[in-house]
Structure 1
Amino acid sequence: MRLDKYLKVARILKRRSVSKELADSQRVYVNGRIAKPSTEIKVGDEIQILFGNRELRVRVRAIEKQVNKSAAAELFEIIEERRIEQNEIA
């Protein structure tokens, strides 16, 4: 599944256009590498998202084409979520 679609289906981000925009601006990494919106996501991949002054790292647990809101949280596990200090922003 494409990265931008996965982030939307898993409800990590609200809209696919937002996930595409973040990836286009090189603020999304998959397994430590800058990712494009079309990057294929597999179970076990680690996704890092930098948005605003936050960093979110998740591991993909499952991939589904469609899930209800309550099941979306089971598609990934949060590895780390932290606030980025102003001096850390590149």
Structure 2
Amino acid sequence: MRLDKFLKVSRIIKRRTVANDACDGGRVSVNGRTVKASYDVKPGDEIKILFGEKPLNIRVLNVKENVKKDEARELYEIV
């Protein structure tokens, strides 16, 4: 699954276009490397997102195309 879509499906970022802009702006890195929105997310990847000055570090636990709001939190864990 593409990184921008994962960020939207997991509800870390509300809109896919905002997730795409964050990736293009260099504010998202996976496993220590800055990546584009087209990066293929896999379970076990560690994603770091910079929200202003506050970083958010997460580990991908599962990748699903569609999840309910209550189940979105099960796709990742905060590191």
What TM-score do the two structures reach when normalised by structure 2?
0.98
Query: Which letter maps to 1:51?
Result: F
1:71 paired residue number: 71
What TM-score do the two structures reach when normalised by structure 1?
0.86
Structure with bigger gyration radius: 1
2:40 paired residue number: 40
- Aligned to 1:77, the other structure's residue is in SS state strand
1:87 paired residue number: none
After TM superposition, which residue ranges in structure 1, 4 or more long, deviate above 3 angstroms?
A: none
Task: Calculate percent identity across the aligned residue pairs.
Answer: 53
Aligned length: 79
**What is the root-mean-square deviation in Å for CA atoms of aligned residues?**
0.5
Residues of 2 paired with 1:53 and 1:33: CA distance? 18
2:8 paired residue number: 8
Residues of 2 paired with 1:66 and 1:54: CA distance? 28
Q: Which runs of 5+ in 1 are unaligned?
A: 80-90
Q: Which runs of 5+ in 2 are unaligned?
A: none
Residues of 1 paired with 2:53 and 2:26: CA distance? 15
Q: Structure 1 residue 53: deviation in Å?
A: 2.1
